[in-house]
Structure 1
């Protein structure tokens, strides 16, 4: 009887402690975190104005303004403890320290362009560390270098460069609202890559907040960590505060053109020839092919057109000579070509009319996302046969709004070793594919996601394999993921091998050195090599 009484007492005690802990966790977690933030920051840089919780009237606008995919935009998510829109480096340090000490996960958001919303969603309590107010850019024309904060957009960076010099640029993406922090850390793919490589190939230093809240840079950063965050994604290792980048030379005259070829006008034949020549053109030439649906509003006339977008670092006369020699099937005319400065090409790549002011590059998002989308990626090492293309066209025609981007390799990308940075997808590729489906009705989500799976499976015979490569900046949860609150190494190896190929093991070793307890984790993070 005595043993029974003791057992009941112990059970009641355990139940009491469990209930008390649950009550404390539920009622005090926000207060404990906020108090920690206050204690960790100095009076000259108060953090209170940078913190926003569900009790603030500005919470929803703060949340949605930097979310891009409506599939993952949920401002009523009670798992979000707070948004810290850091206004000073110390705010970032405090957020890391306080999240870690309170066992709260963080999601780091610079531009919010992550395709699967991993910078602002989680299934466990978390804090959004928003970097968009850290947007300083310092240009040093004499050294052809710049420091750019993680929250600065590419549009802001391009504008600042162009004001300092008409013949300097930076190799990065064409979308002006991309945040420098995430875009560069994932690789940073753009139309100067055949000449100068991608963004990470032009990064020489960084400022990073580590798991202990320390700022690492220069000698304290370490070559191994600098290697890892250049293409391995910064969010697995720390918080990127800023990048030191090399600027590259561009001529005063840059030429662009856009030419459409529908299926009825031989698009398949031209695209097949494009596969043979686009990676072998002079490295100053970037010629993207973009299969897309046309005439979708008229079911009887819907078709596929391949739109060829080009940028040449030089005059139109030279461009015409190159195309006439290598791809005369395109039927390019001189009047299709526009000569302009490098900064003005940014309007062309975002489909604005030629002559549009570049002032839009400074625009920041203010509205909630207006559409749902799904994206996937592939790498192609040998030409896709015409019959393969025709099979793909049939699936594309099932969509209401879908396009692909075929981005050529060659040039500098064939010369940079696969292990020079964490980004591994280098020589041996003809081009990279991005698949992108867009819709506005939530009820159409299952159908579009299903069609994306169908086209991805149909492409399998024609793309890289063992493993099938994927681009980290085009985040895709279909290729593998872990739950928010835990990281299984074997699962991480599945998606990690696709994103990082042979660089994954080294990335896991760097992770074990700088974040051995795996604090910086999310659904597709890199685990420390010892993590379970």
Structure 2
């Protein structure tokens, strides 16, 4: 048999200690998640039970629900961190319950509409999180007499166009060309499409909205006034690009082989709307928006860098619907405002400060947050 040295005893016990520690951590996490589920059930309306809208990894359909609206395969790998729970809200009360319980249990909530998220911030996180998935809330009510429509956040652009076409052959809505983009995310970032020079952005044609705030109050009645591995970046061109420079850009693209450039012309109605009218600030003075796309992240970054002399400067502007974490990431800690300002001024220019003031007033504890959300003022809790 021999004598086991103290060192051997210590080493032989180490794996056991680690396994016990991991088992205890998993048990604690499961207990916390079960408590969260009970909270959701307790705060849902009896007339609209939430249980059928809750999916955990123990559900056989959990993976299919999670993957159904992951449009970017960069974030659908075996190493991608998964949510511990998905709520496929069926009623506004489910949204309210999610907010109440997430705050009560200090949990990160990600909100997903159509899943067209170039950086995955609507369904990926570095901390334990759950997804509030809006795809079931997709009703569309079109009223041709008033030329208005009520559209829920989970509807897609294609569904909106179809419902309008059912009622009229002469009406439309200025939005994007991709039919599977979710209305909620599209409009919240501005939403551009082929009719923007005549009618402006999608957000310019929104006259009212129903929202649930951090106090779970339903706010209404504002006064009327296909899958790939993707990386995208955006820029704004303010001065004409010379023929020689354009030829240089084409040569660079040929060199990189697989990169794509989209030029979206501005002007018209886009230039008539003040930059302060909505959070979207890129109005008069822009000739067109440039979108750089590629399946290979590094090639996208190379072409984006090459475009530097031809686009806006100080700041180099970007389009919020094309989220780009290369611009900066907010860790939502004590430096939240400073980190948020780095990317915030590129997306929103001078409107960033107004958005921060609004965020500080309506969400002082920074509950609604992600890697590139609007921060609160630095003297407030983050």
Residue 38 (structure 1) aligned with residue 41 (structure 2) = yes
- Root-mean-square deviation (CA, aligned residues, Å) is 2.2
Match of residue 402, structure 1, among 259, 262, 267? 259
Residue 483 (structure 1) aligned with residue 353 (structure 2) = no
* Matches of 2:79 and 2:300, distance apart in 1: 28
* Matches of 2:80 and 2:61, distance apart in 1: 15
* Matches of 1:398 and 1:192, distance apart in 2: 33
Which residue in 1 is equivalent to 2:280? 423
Which residue in 2 is equivalent to 1:501? 349
Which residue in 1 is equivalent to 2:19? none
Q: Per-residue deviation at 1:398?
A: 3.4
Write out aligned runs for 1:218-237 (5 A).
Answer: 218=221
Write out aligned runs for 1:47-196 (5 A).
Answer: 47-74=50-77, 77=80, 79-196=82-199
Aligned structure 1 segments of 4 or more residues deviating by more than 3 angstroms: 21-25, 74-79, 484-487
Which residue in 2 is equivalent to 1:513? 361
Which residue in 2 is equivalent to 1:454? 302
SS of the aligned residue for 2:208 comes to strand
SS of the aligned residue for 1:204 comes to coil
Task: Please list the CA deviations of residues 26-79 of structure 1 after superposition, one character each: whole Å capped at 9, or x if unmatched.
Answer: 232210110001000122211111111111111111111101111112477555
Which residue in 1 is equivalent to 2:372? 524
Q: Per-residue deviation at 1:23?
A: 7.2
Q: Per-residue deviation at 1:481?
A: 1.1
* Matches of 2:47 and 2:255, distance apart in 1: 58
Write out aligned runs for 1:211-290 (5 A).
Answer: 211-218=214-221
Which residue in 2 is equivalent to 1:468? 316
1:475–1:150 CA distance, 2 compared to 1 (3 A):
same
Q: Per-residue deviation at 1:487?
A: 5.8
State the TM-score, normalized to the length of structure 2: 0.89
SS of the aligned residue for 1:80 comes to coil
Task: Please list the CA deviations of residues 198-228 of structure 1 after superposition, one character each: whole Å capped at 9, or x if unmatched.
Answer: 0010011111111122211115xxx7xxxxx
SS of the aligned residue for 1:398 comes to helix
* Matches of 2:329 and 2:61, distance apart in 1: 32
Write out aligned runs for 1:379-398 (5 A).
Answer: 379-398=236-255
SS of the aligned residue for 1:169 comes to coil
Task: Please list the CA deviations of residues 324-360 of structure 1 after superposition, one character each: whole Å capped at 9, or x if unmatched.
Answer: xxxxxxxxxxxxxxxxxxxxxxxxxxxxxxxxxxxxx
Q: Per-residue deviation at 1:450?
A: 2.0
Which residue in 1 is equivalent to 2:233? 376
Which residue in 2 is equivalent to 1:29? 32
Unpaired segments of 5 or more residues in structure 1?
Answer: 1-18, 224-243, 247-364, 439-447
* Matches of 1:60 and 1:106, distance apart in 2: 18
SS of the aligned residue for 2:207 comes to strand
State the TM-score, normalized to the length of structure 1: 0.65
SS of the aligned residue for 1:507 comes to helix
Which residue in 1 is equivalent to 2:14? none
* Matches of 1:68 and 1:401, distance apart in 2: 20
Contact kept in structure 2, 1:111 and 1:178, CA below 8 Å: yes
* Matches of 2:78 and 2:192, distance apart in 1: 30
Task: Please list the CA deviations of residues 432-467 of structure 1 after superposition, one character each: whole Å capped at 9, or x if unmatched.
Answer: 0111102xxxxxxxxx32222221111111101111
1:74–1:450 CA distance, 2 compared to 1 (3 A):
closer
- Would you tell me which structure has more strand in proportion to its own residues? 1
The structure whose RCO (Cα within 8 Å, separation 6+) is larger is 1
Q: Per-residue deviation at 1:421?
A: 0.6
* Matches of 1:166 and 1:466, distance apart in 2: 45
* Matches of 2:269 and 2:115, distance apart in 1: 29
Contact kept in structure 2, 1:487 and 1:521, CA below 8 Å: no
* Matches of 1:155 and 1:380, distance apart in 2: 30
* Matches of 2:338 and 2:130, distance apart in 1: 27
